[in-house]
Structure 1
Amino acid sequence: YLSKQGSKNIEVQITNVPKVKLVISKIYENNLLMSQRYGYYPRETSPTHASYDGGYEGDYYEGDYTDVMLGDVIYEKEIDTRSLPKSGAGRLLNISQFEDRLPDFKGVYHVVIRSVEDYWVKDSRFISLSDLGLITKEGADKIYVFANSIKTAQPVNGVNVSIYSANNQLLGTASTNAQGVAELAYSKKDFAGFRPAMVIAKTADDFNYLPFNNTRVNTSRFEVGGKRSNPSGLDAFVYAERDIYRPGEKINFSVIIRDRQWKNPGDIPIKLKFLMPNGKELKTFRKNLNEEGSLEANVDINVTAITGGYSLEVYTSNDILLATKSFSVEEFVPDRIRVSTKLDKTALKPGETSKLSINAMNFFGPPAANRKYETEIQVKQKSFAPEKFAGYEFTLANQNSFFDKLVKEGTTDDQGNAAEDYVVPASYTDKGVLQTNFYTTVFDETGRPVSRVSSADIFTQDIFYGIKYDWFFYYPLNQPVKFQLVSVNRDGNAVNSTSRIEVIKHEYRTVLTKSGSYFRYDSQKEDKVMIDHQVTVGNNTMYSYVPRSPGDYEIRIYRPGANSYVSRSFYSYGAWGGNNNSFEVNNEGNIEIEANKKSYLAGETVTALFKTPFNGKMLVTVETD
């Protein structure tokens, strides 16, 4: 696509080709789908090369065996490569200097550049010379077309829009309004050829097209999921006493039905199916909803029932699935021995030792003497969340997931006792809180395992810093951004301590690079330290920072001398002062959306920050299924 209001330059890469031939063809409006699907090969009026038998030479000609022509050559010229102006590593070819000899016929252009001597050295492109920028949104029974000027990004009124199907049939027409929006209603047909395939937009002096096959946005990498409404418009919620049962027990459950407006649908019949693990139906029955839009039922599980995963399916009377609830039916075999474990310390520091005491007893008998046991000690990261400071984030931002494991084996003594010592490595420093789980397994005389677990916390630092989260992520320029900070000990009590605070601005150097035949945006992150100083932090200490330029910021709180920190990211925005270094852009030029909250209640306002790769006009739609 090339703007009709721009300079109309095309960059070409020509290497070791002293002279090229330029061939420009016009592809007519009614042949656009065919040319996109099967390609186009122009028929030059005076070919330079011929094959040995004097016949068709190859790629550049539509075969002489057919009268079908998708377009006509409107311009041919041999050009000295040195006459083309340089542009970086390439050269510029200006389209505006070539006259269109068929201006009355709407269409797009096909440009071929080939070597005069070696005709197989070539490249070609379809070029639409237009100022009409098009975005199409296809719905269930409507198609919305948004037309804006490519140069000014302003909506274009009065654009005649046509929708064509894959079999090149006209599905509908409409005109854009003052907002540049055209709405076309169409009815889907059972034939595959009538699916929408192309949009054509025309004004008195402009023309553009949008083929769906190579311009459709792939949504597989985006979060476009969510709850999908079924054709009945009803939602079902299934509740049970628990999720696991034994053979011979009774499963009691309740089902509540609501419509899309969260209203009681009234007295309607509901079908219930209870499926066994092998997929067969254990029970199927119908019940009507009561005056509250709910029902209660139960299913008896036979004592000889197979074990495994059962499921309850809720259907409407016309067999539309509303909800599924899973249950487990399992046998229970009692243990032969009783195992207990106990730690002498539940809170540890680096370098300290903890002792695990193990005791195994036979049920209704003597101690489980000379039984083999195995103790696996697992150390992993644990979140630190003091109850007195709910809403504060204490997680270390630059800590990778931590995991360590140690296995010890032994045999119980004559009294069924055993003990294991664990020394906390001195290297566990400034890692926050680590949880140490002691998984002990004692094997009975048949080899059947009986397991128990005991846990202890390792506090790798004396002071923990927290930042309160209010779920606001971006703030205006030149106004104080306030953060509530707290310093606590391992018991969760506030203490005064000296901290090191940094404010970092993330800047991004974004360039457009070529990868093969595609262009992509590449952002490289650079951290700029705005503030680095020491601050005394205690109970609900308020810290302020005034951002002076738009961008992506991060506040970090360190313990002096440590490399680990607690951080919070935020954005600053304004109507001026920003540049293309302010935000990172997606490497494919996509737009990223940051909402000011994770969830909203009815009646609340959503405030969103859109990170775009360049300045311009943006189309935002709010959709449901």
Structure 2
Amino acid sequence: MLFRTVSRLPLLVLLALLCACSKPSQNAAADPNGEEIDPYQNLTFQFASAVAAPDQQDRWDTVQYVKFEPAVRGKFKWNSDRELVFSPSTPFRPSTTFTARLRPEALPADKRGTTLPEDRAKFHTPYLQMQEPQAFWGRSAQAAGTAEMRVELPFNYSVRPADVQPLLRVTQDGQPVAFEVTGTEPGATVRVALNQQVRPGSPLTVALAQGLRAVGSDQASTADYEKQIQVPDPQALEVRSVAGSLQSADPAITILTNQPVTTAELRSALTVSPTVAFETQELESGFVLKGGFEVGKSYQVSLRQGLRGGLGGQLAEDFTQTVSFSDERPTIQFASADKALYLDALGSRNLGVRINEVAQVKVTIAKVYANNIQQLLRAGTEYGYPEYSEDEGGGEEESEDGEYVDRSYQYYDVENLGNVLSERTYSVAGLGKEQGLRLLNLSLKDLEFTGGLKGLYIVKVQDTERQWLQVSKLVAVSDIGLIVKQGKAGSTLVFANSIRSAKPLGGVAVRFVSTNNQVIGTGTTNGDGVAKFDTTAANGRFKLGLVMAQQGSDFTFLDLSRSRVETSRFEVGGLQSNAARYQAFLYGDRDLYRPGDTIQTNTVVRTEDWQSPAARLPVKIRLLLPTGKEYASLRKELSAAGSFEARFILPPSVMTGLYTLEVLTGNDVLLTSRQVSVEEFIPDRMKVTVKTDRAVAKPGQTIAAQILAQNLFGPPAADRKFEVEFSLKEKTFAPKNYADYSFSLNSGARRRGSYGSLVSAPLADRFENTVREGTTDAAGRGTATYEIPDYTDLGTLEGAAFTTVFDETGRPVNRLATFEVQTQAVLFGIRRQAELVSTGQKLPVQLAALSPAGQPVEATAQVTIVRLLWETVIERQGGRYIYNSQQREQVVLNRTVPVYAGANTDANLGFVPAYSGEYEVRVYRPGASTFVAQRVYAYGDGDTQSNSFEVSNEGEVTIEADKEKYQPGETAQLLLKTPFPGRVL
């Protein structure tokens, strides 16, 4: 036994030496910058002995127990007497080394000798690293219709593409490859487009030199990165990655491939299990699935063998991968956009919030007082804590007692503009839920709605454990809806109506506040809910910026700069007034004169209420040369009827061009103007008239153009040559009472466009002009005939007989006669509807059948609905891949529908778009090749959510009159069509 024991001693000594040697080696390999932490985590400090008193525990505190360098804002909480937790208000700066120092002055006097744990004295966030790059084929941004190789460089932080460009080098077989970094916005993925051809099968080497900084970090990378990637074969479709994520708080699956894939190809090759409704959105190298996916569940995504990519490559074998959304980062987001500001006080007062992976939230409600609203709104869109920049050291601020200045409302500045009303903690599971949203109810009591101090509310929702996870929203709780109309002269009208009932609110106190926050006027709405204020009266130095309204406990406001309606697309000009308050109408005997002629004019002047001005009112009329200089000026006086006459003699030597006549008051206020032309011209030597033997014709009939030529002041123009060119074109069919219907015909034929793509051929391609020649007889008459081709189903055509008769000198005299050709007995129309419709909802189609005279008739129509799909085929030309896009039509419905006379017919097709995309509804006579079409774009609810679009504060009102023209004294009946029920002002 002793021998065996002694024989093992050398082995034990060797193991001891190895252990002793390994320990210094591990210490040498340790990071001198300390432990690595996640930018989004809380920090926990464990002390060896008790530090905190019982009354300091289990509550968040702004006392700065630990000082960080660079500075980090946040709050502290003692979980126990020796465990301190720090929660940052914003994530820790990326790729940054931090040092922590315990502040003894923040501790009790008997605990000031306590020191921080060694593992927390120095730490760092993950260093900037380039992850595995990937190559794929995409559409070229430089040469349209071509494909190019692209490389994605993923980083663990956002970087600036401009910083990557000088540090990056791409080679193949040792030779440099020209490239260009695409995009300018910082991001975690930088895309590089290769500007020259690369060989599949030979790897690319991507080298990134040290010196790159992440956005928000001042610490540059200290290591060189070099990665090799394979160039994908364009003839083989490969799946690069499949990942689940939350996009705007909605689950989505992203599938990346090595070349583009169209949704048309995916329809039959893609399956998801368990089955859910989803929509597909194409990416430059893959696609995204959005729809009814749920967080916490796993889904199996499968692609069948044979799936074809945009380059023609095929998937070699079936592909299946499981995706889940359980490991997503926690998020909090309001459902409504920032522009949605007003909440009806008489409603349920619920705010929708999307909350994921958060157990408890703290809801803080603050009030900004009325006199500070403008200051709050002018702060812009920044709110919360600002991102650190390279020039800022963190912006740490502390008071004399060592406490942080709480900047949780830095954007809103509640401390200086208002007060916090309430702070409550809610369990997310206990909040109401509807359509995937958590409902946060605002109590009138918590809002101090009946209190005397009024204002705007700020609602902040914050994770109780992660101070940086927070979102804020401006909310105005009121039932008073305001509409403000400002006139150019300074008059302002305020309309107050109930948001809930749209009824006018009388007795509402209105205050008008200037842009420099001064109350420049007050008023009260009358029984119609209208208050008027003249901003020009004694307020020349002030500009109206805000309107406040209060009725009892209800208070609201309207900021004019944020709520202005853009009117440039509407005809809102109307009659323009002038300083004299007169309107004038100027007319003459003609618009064209020759040198030596006399210009005769007459002017009628009226007041703005259409009364005649006082007799003998002095006025002036002047004639301006084409150069703008005054040629002549006359002083006149109005007659008892409020009019005057004037004439200007043009000498034979006067310059030619466009002259301007202006009418002014005696003190030079311009009332109206008119332009006339002075030109040298030779009158025609003969008079030519032409007319057709019938005004309306049908295909197959003959049209005769009858010509009569007469010499002016002489005998008939006998033996004069003439030419008649017959032409046809499509005539717009616009029957009365059917203004919201479309009757435009589509030829049904296609042709190559200017860029090689197939486009719809116009009807004009079917028409050819025909020329007839002849000579007038002794009576100056001539006839030219034209046989109308046997056209069918082309609607109503407008024919023209363009006639040219030559006088004895060969000078032409032109005249035109028109006629109508009816190619079909019944014209079908489709009622126009919104271009954007929802998937999963019935598509309404209303039809009309009219005679060429515009009268309703009974007929049978063929209705076809097609889905328009685009397929991209790539061809190899000259060493590059060229895209060739082709449109394919998929018929999804084809049905015969009776159309009745005397009423608009609902086709009652029962068609519900199942997929997002472009659809076309076609109506035509059974057997016809032409059709009337209406295009719509169906958009799936799964592709968006309630805050994907800004809330619109505009509603377009259509006004229709019962007559086109009215006589003085008649009454006009106007029909106002509104987008929703309410009150028209």
TM-score over 0.5 for the pair: yes
Contact 2:690-2:707 at 8 Å conserved across structures: yes
Alignment of 1:247-266 (within 5 A): 247-259=595-607, 260-266=609-615
Alignment of 1:178-193 (within 5 A): 178-188=527-537
Q: Secondary structure at the match of 2:422?
A: strand
Q: 2:670 aligns with which of 309, 313, 321?
A: 321
Partner Cα distance (2:733, 2:380) in 1:
59
Of 234-243 and 419-428, more deviation after overlay is shown by 419-428
Q: Secondary structure at the match of 1:13?
A: strand
Deviations 1:428-464 (A, max 9, x none): 456245322335597999xx97353453524325979
Partner Cα distance (2:675, 2:962) in 1:
36
Aligned residue in 1 for 2:581: 233
Question: Is structure 2 residue 355 aligned with structure 1 residue 10?
Answer: no
Q: 1:149 aligns with which of 473, 487, 498?
A: 498
Aligned residue in 1 for 2:418: 71
Alignment of 1:243-392 (within 5 A): 243-259=591-607, 260-333=609-682, 348-352=697-701, 375=725, 377-381=727-731
Contact 2:520-2:539 at 8 Å conserved across structures: no
Deviations 1:270-294 (A, max 9, x none): 1111012222211112122234432
Deviations 1:123-160 (A, max 9, x none): 43211122223233334454333333333444444332
Alignment of 1:157-556 (within 5 A): 157-188=506-537, 194-259=542-607, 260-333=609-682, 348-352=697-701, 375=725, 377-381=727-731, 398-400=743-745, 406-407=768-769, 422-429=786-793, 431-432=795-796, 434-438=798-802, 440=804, 450=812, 452-455=814-817, 457-460=819-822, 499-500=857-858, 532=899
Partner Cα distance (1:460, 1:95) in 2:
66
Report how far residue 222 of structure 1 moved: 3.2
Aligned residue in 1 for 2:477: 129
Aligned residue in 2 for 1:611: 977
The residue identity in structure 1 corresponding to 2:453 is F
Report how far residue 25 of structure 1 moved: 1.8
Residues 334 and 224 of structure 1: CA distance in aligned 2, closer, same or farther (over 3 Å): closer
Contact 2:693-2:705 at 8 Å conserved across structures: yes
- Could you state the TM-score of these two structures normalised by the residue count of structure 2? 0.43
The residue identity in structure 2 corresponding to 1:93 is L
Deviations 1:85-109 (A, max 9, x none): 2221322111118734794422110
Residues 289 and 352 of structure 1: CA distance in aligned 2, closer, same or farther (over 3 Å): same
Partner Cα distance (2:463, 2:805) in 1:
78
Partner Cα distance (1:63, 1:462) in 2:
68
Report how far residue 591 of structure 1 moved: 3.6
- Structure 2: gaps of 5 or more residues: 1-341, 386-391, 398-403, 747-762, 828-848, 862-895, 907-923, 932-951
Deviations 1:40-98 (A, max 9, x none): 98899xxxxx996755899844399x998222333334544433322213221111187
The residue identity in structure 2 corresponding to 1:94 is N
- Structure 1: gaps of 5 or more residues: 45-49, 386-390, 466-484, 504-528, 535-542, 548-557, 566-585, 621-625
Partner Cα distance (2:701, 2:968) in 1:
53
Over aligned residue pairs, what C-alpha RMSD do you find? 5.5
Contact 1:22-1:112 at 8 Å conserved across structures: yes
Residues 277 and 200 of structure 1: CA distance in aligned 2, closer, same or farther (over 3 Å): same
Q: Which structure features the higher share of helix residues?
A: 2
Partner Cα distance (1:113, 1:265) in 2:
70
Of 26-35 and 228-237, more deviation after overlay is shown by 228-237
Contact 2:383-2:411 at 8 Å conserved across structures: no
Contact 1:42-1:60 at 8 Å conserved across structures: no
Partner Cα distance (1:271, 1:128) in 2:
57
Report how far residue 244 of structure 1 moved: 0.9
Partner Cα distance (2:642, 2:654) in 1:
32
Partner Cα distance (2:743, 2:414) in 1:
68
Contact 1:339-1:442 at 8 Å conserved across structures: no
Residues 20 and 41 of structure 1: CA distance in aligned 2, closer, same or farther (over 3 Å): farther
Partner Cα distance (1:212, 1:498) in 2:
49
- Could you state the TM-score of these two structures normalised by the residue count of structure 1? 0.65
The residue identity in structure 1 corresponding to 2:622 is K
Aligned residue in 2 for 1:92: 439
Residues 16 and 316 of structure 1: CA distance in aligned 2, closer, same or farther (over 3 Å): farther
Q: 2:958 aligns with which of 587, 592, 607?
A: 592
**Based on CA coordinates, which of the two structures has the bigger radius of gyration?**
2
Of 21-30 and 151-160, more deviation after overlay is shown by 151-160
Partner Cα distance (1:238, 1:560) in 2:
56
Contact 1:163-1:172 at 8 Å conserved across structures: yes
What is the count of residue pairs matched by the alignment? 511
Aligned residue in 1 for 2:429: 82
Q: Secondary structure at the match of 2:378?
A: helix
Q: Secondary structure at the match of 1:304?
A: coil
Deviations 1:290-321 (A, max 9, x none): 34432222111122222222121100011111
Partner Cα distance (1:361, 1:187) in 2:
68
Contact 1:498-1:559 at 8 Å conserved across structures: no
Report how far residue 266 of structure 1 moved: 0.6
Report how far residue 263 of structure 1 moved: 2.2
The residue identity in structure 1 corresponding to 2:497 is N
The residue identity in structure 2 corresponding to 1:30 is N
Contact 2:826-2:859 at 8 Å conserved across structures: no
Report how far residue 425 of structure 1 moved: 2.7
Aligned residue in 1 for 2:917: none
Q: Secondary structure at the match of 1:128?
A: strand
